[in-house]
Amino acid sequence: MAISARNQRRLDKKEIRREVIADRSTRRCGECTACCTVLGVEELEKPAYTPCSQICGAGCQVYKNRPTTCRTYSCAWKIGALPDEFFPPRAGFIVDTTNELGAITVREIEPGSASNSFGAKRLVNALAAQSVTVVVRGEHDRTILGPVEKVKAFMKQVDKRMKQQGVVPG
């Protein structure tokens, strides 16, 4: 059966989309080691916003035996969830792909490194219009944005979690 020109165009578009997704899913960190500084790694007692002592050039000295925290982390750019322009060293921030309480976390690579970037502001505004978005600017500096009701529900969960862990908020 002959395929119509319209359906052929649809198939071509699908094919292009598949190629784009495949390309994004094979992204490499390259010279980026941002998460090795920005994230805290409990197993190494490494605080957030402190370069890991295992960084060697643009790589990890203990890559094969790196801790689970490192093994399981991929930023949103790496998995192809963000356009190329948001490669962390260029953008000045990384976006987590997971958060146990359902928020989206945007972490500035250096405190202030994304605050004045139009691209970062645009992205944060777009995320915060839909979801709870936590902007982290340093180990003890974070701002919670998002639709009011969602932020309230998120804060309740945070309070509950802190009480369960025996931490008194505020």
Residues that bind ligand SF4 (CB under 6 A): 29, 32-36, 41, 52, 54-55, 60, 62, 66-67, 70, 74-75, 77-78, 88, 94
Q: Is residue 75 a contact partner of residue 95, using CB atoms and an 8 Å limit?
A: yes
User: What is the nearest approach in angstroms of ligand SF4 to the Cβ of residue 3?
Assistant: 40
User: What is the nearest approach in angstroms of ligand SF4 to the Cβ of residue 15?
Assistant: 27
Residue 165: partners with Cβ closer than 8 Å, 6 or more residues away: none
Please name the residue ranges forming H helices in 67-117. 68-71, 88-91
User: What is the nearest approach in angstroms of ligand SF4 to the Cβ of residue 166?
Assistant: 28
Our CB check for ligand SF4 shows the closer of 60 and 155 to be 60
Our CB check for ligand SF4 shows the closer of 77 and 154 to be 77
Residue 73: partners with Cβ closer than 8 Å, 6 or more residues away: 35, 39
Our CB check for ligand SF4 shows the closer of 138 and 151 to be 138
Q: Is residue 76 a contact partner of residue 82, using CB atoms and an 8 Å limit?
A: yes
